[in-house]
Amino acid sequence: MFLARVEGSIVATKKDPTMNGRKLLLLRPQLVDEKDPSKFRPGANTIVAVDSVGAGIGELVLFCQGSSARLANNMKEAPVDAVIIGIVDAVDVLGKEIYNART
């Protein structure tokens, strides 16, 4: 599993039939900064993921990739490589809260 910030959405009107009705979101992975573990630094790449939990733009989410992605609910037959499996409430690093969705 990985952490990412939802940066946008993807619309594809023509796609594999097993992808009909699935919301696609653009994710930017978030890494704990090695120099300052009290904050995140954005990853260099972006990832398109299927949203299985109702995430929205700006939220911090958990996602999985590869064969693990197809283990998410109703994804077994879908040609997916990344699926959002959770919306993050809080993150603690070394005993310090570095993210809280409520603040």
pLDDT tens profile 43-98:
999 999 999 999 999 999 999 998 888 778 777 888 899 999 999 999 999 999 99
Mean pLDDT of the region 13-37? 95
Q: CA 67, CA 58: separation in Å to the nearest integer?
A: 26
Q: For residue 58, what are the CA distances in angstroms to 6, 8, 48, 73, 87? A: 5, 8, 15, 23, 11
pLDDT of residue 73: 76
Tell me which of 42 and 76 has the higher pLDDT.
42
Q: What pLDDT does 70 receive?
A: 79
Output the pLDDT for position 40.
Answer: 96
pLDDT at 29: 98
What is the three-class DSSP state of 11? coil
Q: Residue ranges per domain, the chain?
A: 2-100
The predicted pLDDT at position 3 comes to: 98
CATH number of 2-100: 2.40.50.220
pLDDT at residue 71, as a whole number: 77
Kindly state the average pLDDT of the residues 3-11.
98
